[in-house]
């Protein structure tokens, strides 16, 4: 196998790996009609009665993959704090 073919195969493997990660964290898009609307709705901090923990980073929630800056039913929105 020549070097060009090897580079093409490696690029294809890397692309497939990136797509697999994107699919894992995807909740559908406006173009993904078959899955219905699934854009996450922000769930802000509801005050002292809200017992959800704060998100530790803006990364997606490990349970529902909603962006940490939005907040979800599992965690309050991420707030950057300077020390």
DSSP annotation of 69: T
Q: Which residue has the higher pLDDT, 1 or 14?
A: 14
The tokens for 82 are: 């300077």
Closest CA to 9 of 21, 22, 19, 1: 1
User: Is residue 18 packed enough to be buried (19+ CB in 10 Å), middle (13-18) or exposed (0-12)?
Assistant: exposed
pLDDT attached to residue 9: 92
pLDDT attached to residue 18: 83
pTM as predicted? 0.46
pLDDT, tens digit, for every residue of 26-73?
665 544 444 444 555 677 788 888 888 988 889 988 888 888 888 888
- Decide: 28 and 35 in contact? Cβ < 8 Å: yes
CA distance 52 to 74: 6
């Amino acid at each position: 196998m020549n070097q060009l073919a090897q580079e093409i195969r490696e690029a294809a493997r890397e692309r497939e790996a990136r797509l697999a990660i994107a699919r894992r964290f995807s909740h559908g898009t406006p173009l993904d009609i078959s899955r219905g609307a699934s854009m996450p709705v922000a769930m802000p901090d509801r005050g002292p009665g809200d017992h959800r923990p704060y998100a530790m980073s803006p990364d997606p929630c490990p349970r529902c993959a909603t962006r940490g800056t939005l907040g979800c039913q599992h965690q309050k929105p991420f707030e950057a704090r300077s020390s």
